[in-house]
Amino acid sequence: MKAIPPYRRPYVNTQPEYLFPNYASTVKRAPREPLVVLPHTLSEVTAPVFGFGEIKPTDSDLTRQHNGEPLGERIVVSGRVLDENGRPLPNILIEIWQANAAGRYNHRVDQHDAPLDPNFTGAGRFLTDKDGRYRFMTIRPGEYPWRNHHNAWRPAHIHFSLFGQAIVQRLITQMYFPGDPLLDYDPMFTCVADEKARNRLVSVFDWETTMPEHALGYRFDIVLRGREATPMEKRP
């Protein structure tokens, strides 16, 4: 059996630590014992494959999942999924979820005093194409308060969940919007020290995908872990 090239370990300060007391919920949930370094065996470098039969066209248009149109500003969110070696990743399942335009989630535990929208669920799914591209039509989510600290507000964001070709590439992250004044106050956004890493969570306004008289475009590229260079084959 050939040696399995492992996936790269995170670059310094670009991934959060488990314990980050500014985000209060980490205190009772972050593990305290040292982690054990897991070698990347066949179990870690494989991952489930999802099929196009599992995804409907309306799954990627969050404005067309009910009889009426949701309130709020329509936006197009699109981008590419690459690995750290710059390889586009096709057939990657992306799942997204978000608040409505008023900053309210369609979820029983969201008690924020803002209206629900009967025409907006806030969930979408997409399988990346052969070039790793994806595209969602949705509405711009609202900001909302949370109880982490006094007068805490989450910046507008969309949750993204991605599978890779290896289970160790699995990623859940959040996409933010350019120029949001709440970003600097948000312990989730500020959870990593590396400023460039933080800023890669902020989408960019995209003229190319903006639809005339219909919707602004935002581009959000996502990078999953890449493999270390393949070990040199031993000469006979």
Partner 1 sequence: MSLRASTSQTIGPFLRIGLEWMQIEDLAPQGVAGERVRIEGRVLDADGKPVNDAAVELWQANSHGKYASPEDSQDKPLDSGFRGYGRSLTDDSGTFRFRTVKPGRVPGPDGRLQAPHLLMTIFMRGLLKQLVTRVYFPDEPSNADDPVLSLVPAERRASLIAKKAGDGILEWNVNLQGRNETVFFEF
Quick check: 61 binds partner 1 (CB under 8 A)?
no
Six-digit token pair at 61? 């248009």
Residues of this chain, 186-215, that bind partner 1 according to CB under 8 A: 188, 191-192, 196-198, 200-201
User: Sign of the C-alpha dihedral, residues 34, 40, 42, 47?
Assistant: positive
* In the complex, least distance from residue 226 CB atom to partner 1, rounded to whole angstroms: 7
Residues of this chain, 132-171, that bind partner 1 according to CB under 8 A: 159, 161, 165-168, 170-171
> Quick check: 104 and 115 in contact, CB under 8 A?
yes
The window from 36-44, 70-78, 126-134, 206-214 that contacts partner 1 (CB under 8 A) reads 36-44
> Quick check: 92 and 164 in contact, CB under 8 A?
yes
Q: Give Cα separations from 24 to 11, 61, 145, 187 (angstroms).
A: 25, 34, 15, 9
> Quick check: 93 and 59 in contact, CB under 8 A?
no
Residues of this chain, 68-97, that bind partner 1 according to CB under 8 A: 82-86, 95-97
Quick check: 18 binds partner 1 (CB under 8 A)?
yes
The residue (of 75 and 96) whose beta carbon lies closer to partner 1 is: 96
The residue (of 47 and 210) whose beta carbon lies closer to partner 1 is: 47
Taking the C-alpha atoms of residue 193 and residue 13, their distance in angstroms, rounded to an integer, is 5
Member of 61, 74, 88, 106 binding partner 1 (CB under 8 A): 106
